């Protein structure tokens, strides 16, 4: 990942005409690793092609620092709790990448590269399944790359493919494209590293369906399927197939492209591609305004307020509503001993212990599917319950 990020023109169609899609003026914004950053959130929508992008330009060194030093080193792997039992993120992505377009494509690969290999959890999974394939990785974060090498994986640290005269049969990249300053440059570079006819598996958040992705300040671009299809043509690929949504990651899409001879640098044609971004921005802005009114009322009445749900919805509300500066008496969680919860700056206890903290009201910061069950349970504790999402 090299180069500056320029907010003044669209990376895909080069148009300089854009509308402000979101401007949330709380002075805070949220990163995808749930770290809070200083500064308002601003997202733009290209008037010509509809690609949504970050509204503030960034210098290349600031971007690189963000991923090499400052970015929270992702836990080695993440666990999805499915009805069939816990599944590691690496297992899940490996299954998806290898089965979505047929497993035979993978059995015959000689050399394969993972771009953005992190600490190597996914690469290790691939290596185990395809022992005859020469797998390599590249990773910007030195600590993660070091961790991957310690587990015996061939992971190089540095910005993307500086000196690659190597040609790979396949490249895959999961959750990277949305972070790079210029997807065009990034994809052209990947194209150069593939042999003719080589395969690129790309997986990242999709804006075909509503998600909170557009509220992450470190996601510089937000793509719909039509945008990715045009990127393929622009950067020297042929789209072989795509899948929108996985059972456990409904807001991710997976694309299979093949390296072709030469790129068609045709201008964007047709009308702009619509995404779900505007809808989710309008919905969340309404929810945050309503939450502000609720918090204002609770503060005036001098109520003691706790929060149930300390994950994504909470992070969103803390960044983009007055909850960020609100005195929270305690957090409530059924498993209050999780290490992450110790860093929140207020005590975390089981919901049943909220009386001991003198709690009068609970802000419910969870996905709406849990409302019916949780609302009756928490009201049973004799407190007011105020959902964040409507
Ligand atoms: Zn555009």
* 13 Cα–ligand 1 center, Å: 4
pLDDT of residue 261: 83
Distance 14 CA to ligand 1 centre (A): 6
Q: Identify which of 64, 66, 17, 59 has the alpha carbon closest to the alpha carbon of residue 37.
A: 66
Give 20 Cα–ligand 1 centroid separation in angstroms: 13
Residue 64, domain member (yes or no): no
Q: Ligand 1: distance of its center to the CA of 47 in Å?
A: 7
Query: Dihedral through CA 262, CA 266, CA 269, CA 273, nearest 10?
Result: 50
Residues 242 and 300 in one domain: no
Ligand 1 geometric centre to CA of 254 (Å): 21
Residue 11 Cα to ligand 1 middle (Å): 7
Q: Ligand 1 centroid to 215 CA: how many Å?
A: 20
Q: What is the structure's pLDDT at 340?
A: 83
pLDDT < 50 regions, the chain: 1
Indicate the pairing of strand 237-246 with strand 52-54: unpaired
CB within 5 A of ion ligand 1: which residues? 10, 12-13, 15, 46, 48-49, 51
> Distance, CA 12 to ligand 1 centroid (Å)?
5
What is the whole-number distance in angstroms between the Cα of residue 260 and the centre of ligand 1? 23
- Which own/partner pairs from 300-303 qualify as long-range (CB within 8 Å, at least 24 positions apart)? 303/360, 303/361, 303/384
The answer to whether residue 29 is domain-embedded is no
Residues 253 and 288 in one domain: no
pLDDT of residue 149: 96
Whether 211 and 152 map to the same domain: the answer is: yes
Q: What is the pLDDT of residue 1?
A: 46
Cα of 252 from ligand 1 centre, angstroms? 21
Query: For residue 19, is it within any domain?
Result: no
Residue 26 belongs to some domain of the structure = no
Domain of 344 in residue numbering reads as 279-387
355 and 379 housed in the same domain: yes
**272 alpha carbon – ligand 1 mean position (Å):** 8
Please state, as a whole number, how many other Cβ atoms lie within 10 Å of the Cβ of residue 202: 26
Residues 222 and 368 in one domain: no
* 280 Cα–ligand 1 center, Å: 20
d(CA 124, CA 201): 17
Ligand 1 centroid to residue 203 C-alpha, Å: 21
* Interval between CA 46 and ligand 1 midpoint (Å): 5
**Residue that has been written with the tokens 């109520």 in this structure:** 303
Can you tell me which residue has the tokens 């989710």?
A: 280
Q: How far is the centre of ligand 1, averaged over its atoms, from the C-alpha of 283 (Å)?
A: 24
- Predicted confidence at residue 62, as pLDDT, reads 75
Ligand 1 centroid – CA 267 distance (Å): 10
What's the rounded Cα separation, in Å, for the pair 8 and 12? 12
Burial-class residue 151 by CB neighbours within 10 Å (0-12, 13-18, 19+): middle
End-to-end CA distance of the chain: 38
Q: Are the beta carbons of 190 and 115 closer than 8 angstroms?
A: yes
Instruction: Output the domain CATH number for residue 301.
Output: 3.40.50.20
For every residue of 68-101, which 3-state class applies, written as one string? HHHCCCCCCCCEEEECCEEEEHHHHHHHHHHHCC
Coil, strand or helix at 109: coil
Contact assessment for residue 126 and residue 96, using Cβ atoms and an 8 Å cutoff: no
Kindly give the distance from the C-alpha atom of residue 2 to the centroid of ligand 1, in angstroms, as a whole number: 21
The answer to whether position 59 is within a domain reads: no
Among 273, 301, 324, the domain-final residue is 273
Q: Determine how many CB atoms are found less than 10 A away from the CB of residue 82.
A: 11
Distance (Å) from CA 183 to ligand 1 centroid: 12
Residues 229 and 353 in one domain: no
Q: In the beta sheet, which residues pair with residue 200?
A: 171, 257
Do the domain assignments include residue 186? yes
- Neighbour count for residue 329 (Cβ, 10 Å): 20
Q: What is the pLDDT of residue 248?
A: 87
Distance of alpha carbon 156 from the chain centroid: 23
Instruction: Tell how far the Cα of 49 is from the centroid of ligand 1, in angstroms.
Output: 4
What pLDDT score was predicted for residue 160? 67
In this structure, the answer to whether residues 264 and 287 fall within a common structural domain is no
Distance CA 98, CA 126 (A): 9
Tokens at residue 361, please? 């009201």
- The CATH code of the domain that includes 155 is 3.40.50.150
Beta-sheet pairing, 18-24 with 41-46 = antiparallel
> How far does residue 244's CA lie from ligand 1's centre (Å)?
21
| pLDDT score recorded for residue 23 | 96
Q: Per residue in 296-307, pLDDT tens?
A: 999 999 999 999
Q: Final residue of a domain: which of 240, 273, 306?
A: 273
Do 228 and 339 lie in one domain? The reply is no
Q: Are residues 325 and 383 in the same domain?
A: yes
* 219 Cα: distance to centroid of ligand 1 (angstroms): 16
Helices (H) and strands (E) in the chain, counts: 10, 20
Q: Is residue 369 situated within a structural domain?
A: yes
C-alpha 388/C-alpha 45 separation (Å) is: 26
* Cα–ligand 1 centroid distance for 265 (angstroms): 14
Q: What is the DSSP letter of 49?
A: T
Out of 273, 292, 316, a domain closes at 273
* 172 & 87 share domain: yes
Q: Does 289 lie in the same domain as 247?
A: no
* d(CA 50, ligand 1 centre) in Å: 6
Q: How many domains does the chain have?
A: 2
> CB atoms < 10 A from the CB of 260, how many?
16
**Same domain flag for 88 and 167:** yes
Instruction: State the distance from the centre of ligand 1 to the C-alpha of 335, rounded, in angstroms.
Output: 45
**91 domain-assigned:** yes
């Amino acid at each position: 990942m090299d180069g500056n990020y320029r907010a003044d023109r669209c990376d895909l169609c080069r148009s300089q005409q854009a509308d402000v899609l979101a401007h949330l003026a709380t002075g805070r914004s949220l990163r995808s690793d749930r770290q809070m950053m200083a500064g308002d959130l601003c997202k733009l929508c290209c008037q010509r092609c509809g690609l949504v992008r970050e509204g503030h330009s960034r210098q290349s060194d600031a971007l690189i620092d963000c991923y090499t030093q400052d970015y929270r080193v992702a836990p080695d792997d993440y666990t999805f709790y499915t009805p069939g039992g816990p599944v590691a993120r690496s297992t899940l992505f490996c299954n998806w990448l290898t089965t979505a377009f047929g497993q035979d494509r993978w059995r015959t690969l000689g050399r394969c590269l993972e771009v953005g290999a992190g600490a190597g959890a996914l690469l290790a999974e691939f290596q185990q399944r395809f022992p005859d394939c020469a797998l390599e990785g590249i990773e910007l974060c030195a600590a993660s790359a070091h961790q991957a090498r310690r587990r015996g994986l061939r992971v190089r640290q540095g910005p993307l493919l500086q000196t690659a005269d190597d040609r790979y049969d396949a490249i895959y990249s999961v959750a990277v494209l949305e972070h790079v300053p210029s997807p065009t440059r990034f994809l052209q570079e990947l194209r150069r590293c593939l042999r003719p006819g080589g395969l690129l598996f790309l997986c990242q958040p999709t804006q075909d369906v509503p998600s909170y992705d557009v509220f992450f300040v470190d996601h510089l671009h937000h793509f719909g399927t039509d945008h990715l299809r045009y990127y393929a043509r622009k950067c020297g690929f042929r789209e072989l197939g795509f899948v929108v949504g996985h059972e456990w990651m409904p807001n991710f899409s997976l694309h299979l492209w093949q390296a072709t001879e030469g790129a068609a640098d045709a201008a964007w044609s047709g009308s702009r591609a619509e995404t779900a971004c505007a809808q989710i921005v309008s919905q969340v802005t309404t929810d945050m305004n309503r939450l502000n009114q609720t918090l204002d009322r609770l503060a005036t009445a001098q109520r003691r307020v706790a929060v149930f749900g300390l994950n994504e919805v909470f992070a969103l509300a803390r960044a983009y509503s007055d909850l960020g500066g609100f005195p929270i008496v305690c957090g409530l969680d059924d498993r209050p001993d999780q290490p992450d919860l110790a860093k929140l700056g207020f005590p975390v206890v089981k919901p049943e212990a909220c009386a001991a903290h003198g709690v009068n009201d609970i802000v419910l910061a969870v996905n709406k599917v849990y409302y019916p069950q949780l609302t009756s349970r928490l009201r049973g504790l004799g407190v007011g319950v105020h959902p964040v999402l409507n």
